[in-house]
């Protein structure tokens, strides 16, 4: 057996928590699996699994080897799946992290349609606003809405999200409408995030950035909650189009004048630097890009830029 096959066997043993179960999966003798594991340990001159009576546990070296081997084995499986039979049904896992409000409000139909179109793909969607670690966590893709991509990832910009400074008509009638960023200091401000001291950035008429620092009266990690709080008259908020456009259209919120414009954020599809795109990932990337080009029934979409998915750019 070659080294790749030995690493495949090792990951199978770890995934199944034992030699017996791995042997059953492979339909070979337990002694054969045990012998190949012993040979692998001899090759690396170290113990990979502590398997004394009553004990079965990866050693520190075994854990490190498993983490590195699982990616290599996954890549080899993807190559086999991609090129053995191009016409075969697509199958296998696809793990995605999506911002909660954007995913549920905007991408939900596209995610469901993707699963319906490729039923053999095991789709796992994690709706979470945190920045997941693409190198350490088991995600194939993450979608991030931000003005700057941080971390060692490869990113493709698939769209842009415009943000609005807005408040309810009742709030503005009782508190007045701010005309410039410094006016906001005397208003009740609602902030997305947990910072007790928050910063908002604006672009003035000359295109220069201007930042205000303030203490929010309400913090939340839910854009939907902040939307309802603003509609209820609690204060002024900055929200993306896909959350606030229906409320602005209906008149429940008012977009405050454009001389207080908010920089637009990019919508990025990101993956780990060392992750090769398999067919499942390429199809997902294409369909999510297409979704950003379609009209959302509940309001205006983020402005979308056309991208070439064959060219992924490394984040700075």
- pLDDT of 250-293, one tens digit each? 999 999 976 668 888 889 999 887 777 788 888 899 888 888 76
Statement: residue 203 has pLDDT above 60: yes
Residue 305: pLDDT band with limits 50, 70, 90: very low
Residue 162: pLDDT band with limits 50, 70, 90: confident
pLDDT at 75: 67
Reading the block at residue 22, the tokens are 């791995």
pLDDT digits (tens, 9 = 90+) for 24-49: 878 888 888 888 888 888 888 888 88
Statement: residue 143 has pLDDT above 50: yes
Q: Looking at domain 3-84, does it have CATH number 1.10.10.10?
A: yes
Backbone φ and ψ for 237, nearest 5 degrees, come out as: -140, 155
Question: Which residues touch 73 (CB under 8 Å, ≥6 apart)?
Answer: 4, 7, 8, 11
Statement: residue 314 has pLDDT above 50: no
Cα 44–chain centre separation: 36
Q: Looking at domain 92-152+271-314, does it have CATH number 3.40.190.10?
A: yes
pTM higher than 0.75: no
Q: How far apart are the first and last CA of the chain?
A: 41
Residue 74 has, within 13 A of its CA and on its CB side, a CA count of: 20
Topology agreement, domain 92-152+271-314 and domain 163-260: yes
Name the average pLDDT for the chain: 82
The hierarchical CATH code for the domain 163-260 is 3.40.190.10
Reading the block at residue 276, the tokens are 């090769």
Question: Which residues touch 226 (CB under 8 Å, ≥6 apart)?
Answer: 190, 192, 218, 220, 237, 239
Residue 143 has, within 13 A of its CA and on its CB side, a CA count of: 28
Q: What are the residue ranges spanned by the domains of the chain?
A: 3-84, 92-152+271-314, 163-260
- Do residues 196 and 240 touch, judged by C-beta distance below 8 A? no
Statement: residue 80 has pLDDT above 80: no
Whole-angstrom CA distances from 2 to 7, 8, 34, 40, 46 are 9, 10, 16, 11, 19
- Higher confidence at residue 193 or residue 170? 170
Least confident of 98-102, 199-203, 276-280: 276-280
The string of DSSP letters for the chain reads --HHHHHHHHHHHHHTTSHHHHHHHHTS-HHHHHHHHHHHHHHHTS-SEE--TT--EE-HHHHHHHHHHHHHHHHHHHHHHHHH-TTSPP-EEEEEEE-HHIIIIIIHHHHHHHHHH-TTEEEEEEE--S---TTTS--SEEEEEESS--SSEEEEEEEEE-EEEEE-HHHHHHH----SGGGGGGS-EEEEBS-SSEEEEEE-TTS-EEEEEE--SEEES-HHHHHHHHHTTS-EEEEEHHHHHHHHHHTSSEE--GGGBPPPEEEEEEEETTPPP-HHHHHHHHHHHHHTTSPPTTSPPPP-----TT-PEEP-
Residue 209: pLDDT band with limits 50, 70, 90: confident
């Amino acid at each position: 057996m070659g080294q790749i096959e030995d690493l495949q066997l090792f990951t199978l043993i770890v995934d199944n928590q034992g030699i017996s179960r791995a042997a059953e999966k492979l339909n070979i003798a337990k002694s054969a699996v045990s012998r190949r594991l012993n040979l692998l340990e001899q090759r690396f001159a170290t113990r990979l699994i502590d398997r004394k009576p009553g004990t079965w546990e990866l050693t520190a070296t075994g854990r490190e080897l498993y983490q590195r081997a699982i990616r290599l084995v996954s890549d080899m499986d993807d190559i086999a799946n991609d090129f053995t039979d191009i016409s075969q049904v697509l199958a296998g896992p696809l793990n995605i992290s999506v911002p909660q409000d954007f995913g549920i409000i905007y991408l939900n139909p596209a995610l469901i349609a993707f699963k319906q179109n490729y039923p053999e793909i095991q789709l796992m969607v994690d709706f979470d606003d945190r920045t997941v670690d693409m190198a350490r966590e088991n995600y194939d893709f993450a979608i991030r809405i931000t003005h700057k991509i941080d971390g060692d990832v490869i990113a493709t910009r698939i769209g842009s999200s415009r943000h609005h400074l807005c408040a309810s008509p009742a709030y503005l009638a009782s508190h007045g409408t701010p005309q410039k960023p410094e006016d906001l200091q005397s208003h009740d401000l609602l902030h997305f995030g947990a910072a007790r001291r928050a910063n908002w950035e604006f672009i003035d008429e000359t295109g220069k950035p201007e930042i205000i620092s303030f203490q929010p009266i309400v913090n939340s990690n839910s854009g939907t909650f902040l939307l309802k709080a603003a509609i209820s008259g609690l204060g002024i908020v900055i929200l993306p189009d896909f959350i606030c456009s229906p409320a602005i259209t209906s008149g429940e919120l008012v977009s405050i004048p454009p001389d207080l414009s908010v920089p637009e954020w990019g919508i990025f599809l990101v993956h780990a630097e060392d992750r090769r795109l398999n067919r499942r990932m390429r199809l997902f990337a294409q369909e999510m890009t297409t979704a950003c080009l379609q009209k959302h029934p509940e309001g205006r979409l983020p402005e979308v830029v056309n991208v070439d998915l064959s060219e992924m750019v490394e984040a700075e």
